[in-house]
């Protein structure tokens, strides 16, 4: 288990929660963002790709919040975060709250991949921690 990887993810998530931005110094310049919750299934690459993913998300949501519940070291540079996600929709203000799972892959102290799932179970399966 790598506590360093868990702390790496925790720093990135806390920075995002404070600023709305990724912690760029700890993200590889060619990182990949995979949002398994979006119907288009695009792979967003690099820092500009992350910004594009975030902008696309914000087109539908007026506000959002992410509350980490647990960080799980999945080994081999992977960390899964279970979080409570909430958002308020543009226009009518529909509110959504759910538990999500996010898996980060970290190599040489940099985030190289982020996989966003609409449930903790999906993230844990992707990390090989559940069948």
Ranges of beta strands (E only) in 17-126 are 27-35, 43-45, 61-75, 78-89, 95-107, 110-117
pLDDT at residue 37, as a whole number: 83
Residue 74 has pLDDT above 60, yes or no: yes
Residue 37 falls inside a structural domain: yes
DSSP SS3 for 128: coil
130 falls within a domain: no
Q: Is the pLDDT of residue 62 over 90?
A: no
Taking only the tens place, the pLDDT of each residue in 82-92 is 999 999 988 88
- pLDDT tens, 1-49? 489 999 999 999 999 999 999 999 999 999 999 999 877 768 999 999 9
Question: Which pLDDT score, from 0 to 100, does residue 57 have?
Answer: 82
Q: Which two tokens stand for residue 111?
A: 């985030």
In a domain, 98, yes or no: yes
Exposure class string for 60-94: b at 16+ Cβ within 10 A, else e: eeeeeeeeeeebbbbeebbbbbbbebebeeeeeee
Give the chain's domain count.
Answer: 1
Q: Give the pLDDT of residue 1.
A: 44
Asked whether residue 81 is assigned to any structural domain, the reply reads: yes
Domain encompassing residue 86: 3-125
Tokens (6 digits) for 17: 């929660």
Confirm whether 131 is domain-assigned: no
Check which CATH number belongs to the domain holding 10 and give it.
Answer: 3.10.450.50
């Amino acid at each position: 288990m790598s506590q360093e990887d868990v702390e790496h993810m925790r720093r990135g998530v806390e920075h995002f929660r404070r600023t709305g931005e990724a912690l760029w110094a700890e993200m590889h310049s060619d990182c990949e963002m995979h949002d398994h919750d979006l119907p288009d299934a695009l792979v967003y690459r690099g820092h500009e790709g992350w910004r594009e993913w975030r902008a696309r998300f914000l087109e539908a949501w007026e506000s959002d919040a992410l509350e980490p519940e647990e960080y799980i070291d999945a080994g081999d540079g992977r960390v899964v975060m279970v979080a409570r996600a909430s958002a308020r929709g543009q226009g009518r203000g529909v509110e959504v709250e759910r538990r999500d799972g996010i898996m980060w892959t970290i190599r040489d102290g940099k985030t190289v991949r982020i996989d966003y799932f609409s449930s903790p179970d999906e993230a844990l399966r992707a990390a090989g921690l559940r069948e």
